[in-house]
Amino acid sequence: VIEMGVPQRSVVTTCAYCGVGCSFKAELNGDQLVRMVPWKHGKANRGHSCVKGRFAYGYADHPDRILKPMIRERIDEPWQEVSWEEALGFAAKKMRGIQEAYGQKSIGVITSSRCTNEETYLVQKLARAVFGNNNTDTCARVCHSPTGYGLGQTFGTSAGTQDFDSVEKTDVIVVIGANPTDAHPVFGSRMKKRLREGAKLIVIDPRKIDLVKSAHIAADHHLQLRPGTNVAVVSALAHVIVTEGLADEAYIRERCDWDEYLSYAEFISDERHSPEATFVLTGVDPDVLRAAARTFATGGNGAIYYGLGVTEHSQGSTTVMGIANLAMLTGNVGREGVGVNPLRGQNNVQGSCDMGSFPHELPGYRHVKGAEVREVFQKAWGVEIDPEPGLRIPNMLDAAVDGTFKGLYCQGEDILQSDPDTKHVSAGLAAMECVIVHDLFLNETANYAHVFLPGSTFLEKDGTFTNAERRINRVREVMAPKAGYADWEVTQLLANAMGANWHYTHPAQIMEEIALTTPSFAGVSYDVLEEKGSVQWPCNEAHPDGTPLMHVDGFVRGKGRFIVTEYVATEEKTGPRFPLLLTTGRILSQYNVGAQTRRTENSTWHQEDVLEIHPHDAEVRGVKEGDWVRLASRSGETSLRAKLSERVSPGVVYTTFHHPDTQANVITTDFSDWATNCPEYKVTAVQVGLSNGP
């Protein structure tokens, strides 16, 4: 007799939702997972968790899961269940046939920030070593690619500077474009604890997030800016710091390029960056902005935490560089309690980027043009590597519409639902001759697929995830893969069906190869992870125990680099037809497009996305609480229920995007970050009017 309350065994693993990377004990009776218990030894969570990690695992058993491979010649034909061998043979033949007909660069891959480091490493290796091109991109393209660019340019590496513990030594916390209590709840709670102990808080956000005012917490300064004006606000903060003589010049002389600082100081001192001059753009009260700048510069240890409200803009990379400038200006990089910290939305965004998913970088953020770096991988893989960067996701779709890109292997990512300009994505997918979707469910992208390969959940595989503080956590197999193979095995089978000769028998061997080829992972192995629990990269000969704090003795690039950050207004403009600005975010109980959380009990807590609208904007449109409204932009329209709220300013509306019916990406534009093509999800000119419902 199995007692449901008394588990027979437990396995320690890592949550597969957000970038906090909480450790859990998965408790089982037989093969039945009975509960997830936050693990007290988990270094990222210390025994805490949120509702998603604790309760939202039911999707692993959901009847919507597809457990048999399926194929079809044409997307208007019904799916046909086949054996793994037949599906992989079919996929391999199609992909090779496309290359013969259209050239080596006519196919590519998309990796997932949901998958393990080892799986991601294999998918980019599939593109580079088997397809013979660099057409590999990641869903990080649509979230934190500007972090990669911005922190790489200024500090020399694309990662947060601190560990989570560092917040306990912070005197001034700056939260910009992030909502940690909903999107990163366990770290949000640590932040709140520090605030209750007396740290000061500056929130820069168009919306009154919970941290602005909730029980026992109130922000000292809320810079409630107009969506799309981050660069102007960050520059105005820097202007005050420089012109009021608050910059830490001793630190800058020692740690940063002094000549570049002088150029930057001259640029930022110009009156056009002053709080008074930028008020007309940003809507932020100049007195509030000046006070915030003084608090940050003089309040002791200052740490900046940011999220997608920074990156998902046409100037996402510029804002990241502006934030880095602010931290260097005030000497706030390189010790406990300070730093620049991107809060990663998905469990393995950091790892996905580390593992070489971008089309211009091999693992460890090294450009494919570098002959020495290519040589490392050529030796390890026994193939020639193309020195030309490959296509980003939007370029793959453009090339598909143009007829030169014909085949895609998409692992763990629903680009039709999560990428901008849905019409363009569907046109690109429809133009391809072979789309391979490797996922848990028949997602929206699978409507255009010719091959469906069943995926495995985080409970069904071994591997590692890297969280937002660069912590490499073990993921352990809790139960056997329901469809027969873990995702890394499927990628290996596909590679071999296309002529490769891979023979990994366990993800530990893939990690050995990562350590061999990637200096920041040189000291990482499953034995080390067993012994230490987890480590933060760089972990190598110089840092055998890992690196909680980066840039301590000097920046990774040598001297920190100030970069001039000119504000350029987004091309998305309000006007008489579309007078309001829409911005988007998330809610605690749901996760991204909801593929997992909607298939768990969490869905009962949040059954639909709603449109937050200021009472003044609602009144002039005759909209009352709970009314159905039509939300229209230049790109498309959808219907939502209205929620009257003073969390948003007049002129700004807000929604979440957890339910497919909301079709938020039908509304958003195709503008994107100038450096990385990260879509501008956070600024869309819209109109709102009463409707009869969907």
Residue 336 tokens, joined? 């406990």
Residue 363 tokens, joined? 């693992």
Nearer to ligand SF4, 68 or 476 (CB): 476
Q: Least distance in Å: CB of 15 to ligand SF4?
A: 3
Among 50, 178, 385, 449, binds ligand SF4 (CB under 6 A): 50
What whole-number distance in Å separates Cα of residue 663 and Cα of residue 667? 7
At a CB cut-off of 8 Å and minimum separation 6, what does 634 contact?
Answer: 578, 669, 685
Nearer to ligand SF4, 188 or 283 (CB): 188
**How many CA atoms within 13 Å lie on the side-chain side of 145?**
27
Q: Least distance in Å: CB of 485 to ligand SF4?
A: 25
3-class secondary structure for 585-617? Answer: ECCCCCCCCCCCHHHCHHHHHCCCCEEEECHHH
18 sits near ligand SF4 (criterion: CB under 6 A): yes
20 sits near ligand SF4 (criterion: CB under 6 A): yes
For tokens 């028949």, the residue is 442
* b/e code 398-428 from CB counts within 10 Å (16+ = b): bbbbeeebbbbbbbbbbbbbbbbbbebbbeb
465 sits near ligand SF4 (criterion: CB under 6 A): no
Among 7, 12, 13, 21, binds ligand SF4 (CB under 6 A): 21
53 sits near ligand SF4 (criterion: CB under 6 A): yes
Contact at 8 Å (CB) between 140 and 486?
no
Contact at 8 Å (CB) between 567 and 229?
yes
What does each C-alpha distance from 474 to 14, 15, 69, 644 come to in angstroms?
7, 10, 28, 44
Q: Least distance in Å: CB of 49 to ligand SF4?
A: 4
128 sits near ligand SF4 (criterion: CB under 6 A): no
Nearer to ligand SF4, 136 or 590 (CB): 590
Stretch that binds ligand SF4, among 13-21, 113-121, 124-132, 234-242 (CB under 6 A): 13-21
Strands 200-204 and 610-613: unpaired
Mask for 181-220, x = binds ligand SF4 (CB under 6 A) = ---xxx----------------------------------
Nearer to ligand SF4, 45 or 235 (CB): 45
**How many CA atoms within 13 Å lie on the side-chain side of 469?**
24
Among 12, 13, 17, 274, binds ligand SF4 (CB under 6 A): 17
3-state secondary structure of 405: coil
Mask for 149-188, x = binds ligand SF4 (CB under 6 A) = -----------------------------------xxx--
Q: Least distance in Å: CB of 16 to ligand SF4?
A: 8
Among 22, 140, 234, 308, binds ligand SF4 (CB under 6 A): 22
Q: Least distance in Å: CB of 220 to ligand SF4?
A: 25
Nearer to ligand SF4, 307 or 390 (CB): 307
The count of residues interacting with ligand SF4 (CB under 6 A) is 14
What whole-number distance in Å separates Cα of residue 204 and Cα of residue 694? 34
What residues from 346 to 365 belong to the interface with ligand SF4 (CB under 6 A)? none
Contact at 8 Å (CB) between 613 and 622?
no
**Interacting residue ranges for ligand SF4, rule: CB under 6 A:** 15, 17-18, 20-22, 45, 49-50, 52-53, 184-186
